[in-house]
Amino acid sequence: MNPYTRFVSEYANLLKEGKTCSLGGFTPAPRPAIPADAPKAMLFSPHPDDECIVGGLPLRLLRESRMRIVNVAVTQGSRIDRQAARFQELQKACDFLGYELVQTQPNGLEKVNVKTREQDPAFWSKSVRIISEVLSRYQPRIVFFPHEQDWNSTHIGTHFLVVDALKGLGAAFQCFTVETEFWGQMPTPNLMVESTALDVADMVAGTSFHAGEVQRNPFHLFLPAWMQDNVRRGSELVGGQGEAAPDFQFATLYRLRQWRNGGFESVLEKGKQIACTQEASRLFS
């Protein structure tokens, strides 16, 4: 008898069970008291739901180090008829996780993609100014945004939107940058951050508040498997080719750098793996 038959069948059964779970409507997850002067991490989300999907490290910074996590809703999706509803879903998801929420403008920014950047510089510049104003107002210590090859046109556009906004703030502005991935894998991540099962469960629950999206595609249910696969990839992409995998169950991959003197600078000599037993905020000391 194949000993893995039951192993795989249990995965399939759990997926079926997950499809019967509620979508949103949960009591906000426990969160620590956040000091008024707490350092801020800003998460520039291309769409409502990205704040939950790539939020393994932000959630740890909130819960372990009592940082203020501020999610910026760069867009509210491309469907005009769904933009208001998606923002309402986003408000509930952020409230569940304990994130603050910033709206770029009513209904979010439009045409956030490389084509706009190349062909309509005047329109693009208006969006860049909005992001620059948010960065200037909040002065975040850490900025999260997608990497430049994250496949989805709005994810890629958000990367260049944030980079152009950082450039516009001048050489005096400094922060740590953490690039995220979801639709397209990063070829050069340098950071793997473990998440506890409880954190992953809250990320799944937070994503489920985006009911209009997960009813179309139940990607919230695939989040744990994706984070398990990140352990496989990260063990060698971050740890080194041929290295043994760490004893992580769930993880997210990122690229950590620093923005200084108007450009990116390296901060890690080699890839780093952060277990749940380590304080993640030490990365940014």
- Domains of the chain by start residue, with CATH: 14-22+37-279 (3.40.50.10320)
Instruction: Please tell me the predicted confidence (pLDDT) of residue 244.
Output: 87
Q: What are phi and psi of 218, to 5 degrees?
A: -75, 60
Instruction: Please tell me the predicted confidence (pLDDT) of residue 222.
Output: 97
Candidates 12, 18, 66, 10; CA nearest to 201 is 18
- 267, 258 contact by CB (below 8 A): yes
Instruction: Please tell me the predicted confidence (pLDDT) of residue 206.
Output: 98
pLDDT (tens place) for every residue of the chain, 285 residues total: 899 999 999 999 999 999 999 999 999 999 999 998 999 999 999 999 999 999 999 999 999 999 999 999 999 999 999 999 999 999 999 999 999 999 999 999 999 999 999 999 999 999 999 999 999 999 999 999 999 999 999 999 999 999 999 999 999 999 999 999 999 999 999 999 999 999 999 999 999 999 999 999 999 999 999 999 999 999 999 999 998 889 999 999 999 999 999 999 999 999 999 999 999 999 998
How far apart, in whole angstroms, are the C-alpha atoms of residue 88 and residue 93? 9
How far apart, in whole angstroms, are the C-alpha atoms of residue 204 and residue 251? 14
Instruction: Please tell me the predicted confidence (pLDDT) of residue 75.
Output: 98
Query: Residue 71 forms beta bridges with which residues?
Result: 43, 101
What's the distance, CA 195 to chain centroid? 13
Q: What is the pTM of this model?
A: 0.97
Instruction: Please tell me the predicted confidence (pLDDT) of residue 1.
Output: 85
* Cα–Cα–Cα angle for 46, 202, 47, rounded to 5 degrees: 10
How far apart, in whole angstroms, are the C-alpha atoms of residue 229 and residue 221? 14
